[in-house]
Chains A and B, each alone.
Chain A
Amino acid sequence: MATPTMDKLEALEADSASSHLIAVTFRIRRFNPEVSADASWEDFRIDIDPKERVLDALHKIKWDVDGTLTFRRSCAHGICGSDAMRINGRNRLACKTLIKDIVSFDKSGAVSKPVTIEAIKGLTVLKDLIVDMDPFFQAYRDVMPFLVTTGNEPTRERLQSAEDRERFDDTTKCILCAACTSSCPVFWNDGQYFGPAAIVNAHRFIFDSRDEAGEQRLEILNDKDGVWRCRTTFNCTDACPRGIEVTKAIQEVKRALITRRF
């Protein structure tokens, strides 16, 4: 075991053992049409360990302060894609964002600004942080997100070289959280645009050596609401909690449309 780093580890563990709380104000965009037609900001000030997740803060508020605060979540460690939201103006997963990474401190050591939390943009807000995901999943379904093959199936597995497998590895990581699509200015202005997530999932199959429907998917994305709407602002790449190079994937689809080589 690498001993030189043990001091750092011990410090981390000592720090973890003696958790200290800080007071943070969470400024949350509330909306409930059962109560009011208008959305409004509401502040919640709570004490929280800075090593905890934003999701932990939302739970503290919901469980200890206001049970009506509503948001989606499930796995709590960045795998299920339920809890994409705008945190301090940036799309993130609440369960993958630690408090310490989003608060700043003033000279006295107190947290200087509230943390703002609101629903992702471009999809209709239904209640608090919950948006209507149906248009998002419809765009996904429209790109034929499944393997298409013809002819008899082999008895055993289809062979695929490690290199061919690597070709589309990045886009297999997608968890359909919508952080990318709802960070895209084109999508905000025109909900008809397929959006980055659908293109990522088309990419995943277009560049899979086993698939035979690449041409069809490219034609779908050649549409007026397809890849050409992308203005390469890189918001999607910045937003992706899985680290997928989304803009690069979109560019590769554009290039495939021009060269018809993939």
Chain B
Amino acid sequence: MKIHKYDTVIVGAGGAGMRAAIESTKRSRTAVLTKLYPTRSHTGAAQGGMAAALANVEEDNWEWHTFDTIKGGDYLVDQDAAEILAKEAIDAVLDLEKMGLPFNRTPDGAIDQRRFGGHSRNHGEAPVRRSCYAADRTGHMILQTLYQNCVKEGVEFFNEFYVLDQLLTEVDGVKVSAGVVAYELATGEIHVFQAKAVIYASGGTGKFFKVTSNAHTLTGDGQAACYRRGLPLEDMEFFQFHPTGIWRMGILLTEGARGEGGILRNKDGERFMEKYAPVMKDLASRDVVSRSIYTEIREGRGCGPEGDHVYLDLTHLPPEQLDAKLPDITEFARTYLGIEPYTDPIPIQPTAHYAMGGIPTNVQGEVLADNTTVVPGLYAAGEVACVSVHGANRLGTNSLLDINVFGRRSGIAAAEYAAKHDYVELPEDPASLVEAQVERLRNSTGKERVATLRLELQECMDANVMVFRTEQTIKTAVAKIAELRERYLNVSVQDKGKRFNTDLLEAIELGNLLDLAEVMATSALARKESRGGHYREDYPNRDDVNFMRHTMAYREVGDDGTESIRLDYKPVVQTRYQPMERKY
């Protein structure tokens, strides 16, 4: 075991982690721990753009953006946080441009903007051009630009280091962050990083679904590390299903395709979104569009021999426009489906995309131990966190924005905290939990296989807690997850070595997915209403009287060692916007 000491440790090198690192490296001695190489992170898969009311191409202002974000989140958004997001969006985009990001340009050389789902002029009047973009590879450009600037600032990276435990030390009755424990992929060695401040920026947890736009590596490691140490997870029942994933594969096809004029059609060629969202049509919020697609499919208007998908039609758009604005997604259709988007519509279905919930933080990125108490020295930003700017449903282009605004904020806040505080003592035997976990898996002779359990989990989640949910389906999921957690105790790995043991790491990642799936299903069961991405067929309406509140899920361990989940609730911060019925 090796011990390292840094002022600030950042877990994850996607957009949020690297944006934080650029700030914290200027202010404190910083280490970035990432389970991949920095430019491998899934920020790079984001396509359509980053929202900011620059008003470069038409009238816009941040107040409209704030409103759209709150409405898009079905009023579960903390309104003070949404206001910060929309206000700071403008500088966040300009900062990236100054760092070198090659945005698409208007004829007069300013940053170009395009339409995106849920973003509107004057509180829902009509779609507005708010998304700043670089073709359909905005996330790629953000990830590259941030990495380039990390190189420029001399940010110190520990590549292929998996953070598996969050260390907390009690000081005067308060839990304080003491550092993290990491597993080095190349050697199998365990490292303890003692740090004054820790920032989680380790991304989402979409891999508990089968049809997903998420990378294989998005296994909720940060959420699980904090949750297992008794910290809460907020709003985990809210998961976004992006309307346009490639049929069966789940690969993302940007909403920017509809922003550029693409149309969703059923098997009769009908533009069905006109029925469900007369004003915004194909550019309604993602939860609305995904439900509409599945309604079409359920009512027998789906396409293909099994009627299990619909079409994204780009055939009426000029090929030059597709080449200039949507080159990557048209290539995906050619590569993976053998389809020519100039002439053929693309078969799509909703794909599990984004966790609105996560580690609860305040607007400085400080992690909460309960509804109000901050964990000193602990921060989170990006998809791993829940500020909550996305509420019950995130608007497209608000996640690339979130990682920049709150990545920057947490980087500054963590470094400033580190400058004012000393190290707290590490807990006794700090690596013990990780060592025990690794040894148990390495030495297990159990008969269960990781791949089998993971597939059963994914199929169960797709079938039971996806776009439509009922008490019965969620209960089915809860029971199945409990069974899988039991069987997980008998998982063994074939690779017993120390060197690049990805077999072992996949087993650990599965443990994280199982923990988080249980939290998600349990939170969903208790929320007896429909709001944003959480749709209960048995409770089809939003219930502001009983459920205008955030879910807070805690892991409890009984005296006999049995684990359970305790649910609590946290009020939503409302400033100037009263909840209204959501129409697009």
Q: Which of A58-107 contact B (CB under 8 A)?
A: 62-64, 66-68, 70-71, 73-82, 96, 98
Contact B450 A63 (CB under 8 A): yes
Which residues of A sit under 8 angstroms from B347, Cβ to Cβ?
9, 13
Contact B499 A34 (CB under 8 A): yes
Report Cα–Cα, A130/B187, bound state, in Å: 13
Contact A34 B102 (CB under 8 A): no
- Residue A21, interface by CB 8 Å: no
Contact B39 A175 (CB under 8 A): yes
Contact B41 A80 (CB under 8 A): yes
Query: Could you say which of A152-160, A180-188, A221-229 contacts chain B?
Result: A152-160
Nearest chain A CB to B351 CB, angstrom units:
12
Contact B45 A165 (CB under 8 A): no
Q: In the complex, which range does the number of interface residues on chain A fall in?
A: 35 or more
- Residue B61, interface by CB 8 Å: no
Chain A CB within 10 A, most for which of B42, B100, B105, B303: B100
Which residues of A sit under 8 angstroms from B97, Cβ to Cβ?
157-158
Contact A79 B44 (CB under 8 A): yes
Report Cα–Cα, A158/B101, bound state, in Å: 11
- Residue A40, interface by CB 8 Å: no
- Residue A230, interface by CB 8 Å: no
Which residues of A sit under 8 angstroms from B134, Cβ to Cβ?
172
Contact B98 A158 (CB under 8 A): yes
Report Cα–Cα, A70/B345, bound state, in Å: 38
Q: Which of A151-176 contact B (CB under 8 A)?
A: 153, 156-162, 165, 168-169, 172-176
- Residue A262, interface by CB 8 Å: no
Report Cα–Cα, A245/B498, bound state, in Å: 40
- Residue A41, interface by CB 8 Å: no
State the majority secondary structure of interface residues on B: loop
Q: Which of B39, B148, B344 contacts A80 (CB 8 A)?
A: B39
- Residue B108, interface by CB 8 Å: yes
Q: Which of B239-255 contact A (CB under 8 A)?
A: 247-249, 251
- Residue A39, interface by CB 8 Å: no
Contact A63 B137 (CB under 8 A): no
- Residue A191, interface by CB 8 Å: no
- Residue A258, interface by CB 8 Å: no
- Residue A141, interface by CB 8 Å: yes
- Residue B110, interface by CB 8 Å: yes
- Residue A37, interface by CB 8 Å: no
- Residue B564, interface by CB 8 Å: no
Contact B152 A126 (CB under 8 A): no
State the majority secondary structure of interface residues on A: loop
Nearest chain B CB to A156 CB, angstrom units:
6
Chain B CB within 10 A, most for which of A77, A130, A161: A77
Which residues of A sit under 8 angstroms from B450, Cβ to Cβ?
63, 67
- Residue B318, interface by CB 8 Å: no
Contact B110 A159 (CB under 8 A): yes
Which residues of A sit under 8 angstroms from B269, Cβ to Cβ?
1
- Residue A5, interface by CB 8 Å: yes
- Residue B94, interface by CB 8 Å: yes
Query: Could you say which of B23-31, B305-313, B541-549 contacts chain A?
Result: B305-313
Q: Which of B36, B186, B265 contacts A82 (CB 8 A)?
A: B36
Contact A68 B494 (CB under 8 A): yes
Report Cα–Cα, A9/B339, bound state, in Å: 8
Nearest chain B CB to A2 CB, angstrom units:
5
Contact A32 B36 (CB under 8 A): no
Which residues of A sit under 8 angstroms from B105, Cβ to Cβ?
159-162, 165
Query: Could you say which of B330-338, B375-383, B531-539 contacts chain A?
Result: B330-338
Which residues of B sit under 8 angstroms from A141, Cβ to Cβ?
151
- Residue B371, interface by CB 8 Å: no
- Residue B20, interface by CB 8 Å: no
Report Cα–Cα, A158/B98, bound state, in Å: 7
Nearest chain B CB to A169 CB, angstrom units:
7
Report Cα–Cα, A211/B145, bound state, in Å: 14
Contact A145 B45 (CB under 8 A): no
Q: Which of B16-72 contact A (CB under 8 A)?
A: 36-37, 39-42, 44-45
Q: Closest residue of chain A to B305, judged by CB?
A: A17
Contact B99 A96 (CB under 8 A): no
Contact A68 B151 (CB under 8 A): no
Contact A165 B111 (CB under 8 A): no
Which residues of A sit under 8 angstroms from B39, Cβ to Cβ?
80-81, 175-176
Contact B503 A62 (CB under 8 A): yes
Q: Closest residue of chain A to B98, judged by CB?
A: A153
- Residue B574, interface by CB 8 Å: no
Tell whether A145 pairs with B148 under 8 Å between CB atoms, given A5-B343, A9-B339, A162-B105.
yes
Q: Assuming A67-B450, A146-B99, what are 12 further A-B pairs, CB within 8 angstroms?
A: A1-B313, A12-B339, A13-B304, A32-B497, A75-B45, A80-B42, A126-B499, A126-B500, A157-B103, A172-B102, A175-B39, A210-B100
A to B CB contacts below 8 Å, 26 in the list:
A34-B498, A64-B451, A67-B493, A67-B494, A68-B497, A73-B216, A75-B44, A75-B45, A75-B215, A77-B332, A79-B328, A80-B44, A80-B45, A80-B215, A81-B39, A96-B335, A127-B499, A127-B500, A130-B500, A146-B100, A157-B110, A162-B105, A165-B102, A172-B102, A173-B140, A210-B100
